[in-house]
């Protein structure tokens, strides 16, 4: 894939919006770092973010919205959350909030969690893209997995060149540091990631403390999960893949982007089924399959 780099202009935003609405992920500056943005209501588009980054695991992504009204369509705010939003938005503050039922956000965005990280960005390029697409945009930092966050278009090109269709070049980002993340999901505010905005909140657990199963930021089904299943036992709901049909399938054609996009929905579906156990067909351990298998192993642990 050829990666175009266009300076931030109205035409460039129109092109980025066209690509986003077609299900692509494009790089765009925010006031913190460059983000790799995709339509948060389109699961396959969000799966492409993971594919482009080569991320070996799924974690919940931050969703960018144009304003408070758009945020309130997606999540619920208690008084404290409302006060923080009023004070710091638009700006480098992400609030983790209870997700509304009819939010329209794809489950791969929240990695199956009932909460969502939202922010209203201050950068005109990201604001213009939000306006032009009229969609909430999931956007992690626009770098390949394992490399540092990009603060210039050249960093993005070096890291993701050939893997994404477009980078909007808005020069260096102002903050150069990812947004502060505060959870406002009931009870005390909790600081999940320190960042440009300092907020009085209970500390942590920070995102880097990632002992498996320890972090409340990982969704796990309540039923036992068996992996590499080629057929279902009597009490199992089988999630198929490729030639293994199952009760439902991650992707009948064996497509990993489709499988990633359906993973959390199908785990929830299996959890809600009448069967007491969940079985999952083997998924190849390459490309997006690495992240899918990582998540399945956590679900089975």
User: Do the beta carbons of residue 181 and residue 84 sit within 8 Å?
Assistant: no
Rule CB under 5 A: is residue 173 a binding residue for Mg ion? no
For residue 255, the minimal CB distance to ligand TXA (Å) is: 24
Which of Mg ion, ligand TXA, none has residue 94 at its interface (CB below 5 to 8 Å by kind)?
ligand TXA
Which of Mg ion, ligand TXA, none is residue 38 near (CB under 5 to 8 Å by kind)? Answer: none
Nearer to ligand TXA, 140 or 246 (CB): 140
117 binds, among ligand TXA, Mg ion, none (CB under 5 to 8 A by kind): ligand TXA
Q: How far is the CB of 59 from ligand TXA (least distance, A)?
A: 5
Q: Which is nearer to ligand TXA, 110 or 249 (CB)?
A: 110
Distance CA 59, CA 219 (A): 10
179 counts as binding Mg ion under rule CB under 5 A? no
Looking at beta carbons only, is 214 or 276 nearer to ligand TXA? 214
- DSSP element (H, E) containing 259: helix 256-272
Cβ–Cβ contacts within 10 Å for residue 198, how many? 9
* Cis, peptide link before residue 257, omega less than 30° from 0: no
Partner from ligand TXA, Mg ion, none binding residue 53, C-beta < 5-8 Å depending on class: none
Rg value, the chain, Cα: 19
Rounded least distance, CB 113 to ligand TXA, Å: 5
For Mg ion, the binding residues in 127-146 under the rule CB under 5 A are: 141
List the single partner that 24 binds among ligand TXA, Mg ion, none, CB under 5 to 8 Å by kind: none
Residues that bind ligand TXA (CB under 6 A): 30, 32-33, 35, 59-62, 92, 94, 96, 110, 113, 115-117, 139-141, 178-179, 181, 192-193, 207, 217
Contact 59, 50 (CB under 8 A): no
133 contact, one of ligand TXA, Mg ion, none, CB 5-8 Å limit per kind: none
Nearer to Mg ion (CB atom), residue 32 or residue 141: 141
Cα gap 187→164, rounded to integer Å: 40
Strand partners, 248: 239
Peptide bond into 90 cis (omega under 30): yes
Q: Which helix (H) or strand (E) holds 239?
A: strand 236-240
Cα distance between residue 52 and residue 157, in whole Å: 12
The residue (of 192 and 279) whose beta carbon lies closer to ligand TXA is 192
The strand pairing partners of 34, in sequence order, are 29
Nearer to Mg ion, 141 or 217 (CB): 141
Residue 280 and residue 251 in contact, taking contact as beta carbons nearer than 8 Å: no
Output 63 or 278, the one with its CB closest to ligand TXA: 63
Residue 118, binding choice from Mg ion, ligand TXA, none, Cβ under 5 to 8 Å by partner class? none
Judged by DSSP in three states, 28 sits in strand
Min dist. Cβ of residue 221 to Mg ion (A): 26
| Cα(99)–Cα(116) distance, integer angstroms | 6
CB of 268 to Mg ion, least distance (A): 26
Confirm if 299 and 262 have CB atoms less than 8 A apart: no
Residue 279 CA to residue 230 CA, distance in Å, equals: 9
Contact residues for Mg ion, defined by CB under 5 A:
141
């Amino acid at each position: 894939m050829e990666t175009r780099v266009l300076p931030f202009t109205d035409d460039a935003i129109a092109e980025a919006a066209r690509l986003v609405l077609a299900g692509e992920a494009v790089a765009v500056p925010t006031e913190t770092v460059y983000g790799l943005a995709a339509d948060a209501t389109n699961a396959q588009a969000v799966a492409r973010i993971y594919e482009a980054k080569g991320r070996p695991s799924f974690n919940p992504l931050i969703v960018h919205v144009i304003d408070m009204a758009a945020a309130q369509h997606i999540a619920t705010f208690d008084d404290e959350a409302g006060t923080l939003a009023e004070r710091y938005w638009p700006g480098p503050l992400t609030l983790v909030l209870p997700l509304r039922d009819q939010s329209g956000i794809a489950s791969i965005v929240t990695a199956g969690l009932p909460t969502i990280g939202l922010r209203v960005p201050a950068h005109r390029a990201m604001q213009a893209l939000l306006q032009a697409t009229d969609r909430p945009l999931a956007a992690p930092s626009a770098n390949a997995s394992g490399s540092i966050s990009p603060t210039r278009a050249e960093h993005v090109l070096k890291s993701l060149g050939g893997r994404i269709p477009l980078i909007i070049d808005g020069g260096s980002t102002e903050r150069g540091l990812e947004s502060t993340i505060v959870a406002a999901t009931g009870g005390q505010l909790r600081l999940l990631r320190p960042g440009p905005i300092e907020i009085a909140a209970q500390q942590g657990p920070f995102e880097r403390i990632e002992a498996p199963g320890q972090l409340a930021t990982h969704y796990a089904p309540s039923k036992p999960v068996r992996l590499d299943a080629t057929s279902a036992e009597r009490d199992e709901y089988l999630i198929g893949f490729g030639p293994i049909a199952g009760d439902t399938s991650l992707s009948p054609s064996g497509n990993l982007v489709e499988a990633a996009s359906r993973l959390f929905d199908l785990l929830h579906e299996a959890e809600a089924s009448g069967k007491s156990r969940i079985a999952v067909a083997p998924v190849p351990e390459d490309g997006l399959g690495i992240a899918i298998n990582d998540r399945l192993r956590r679900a089975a642990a």
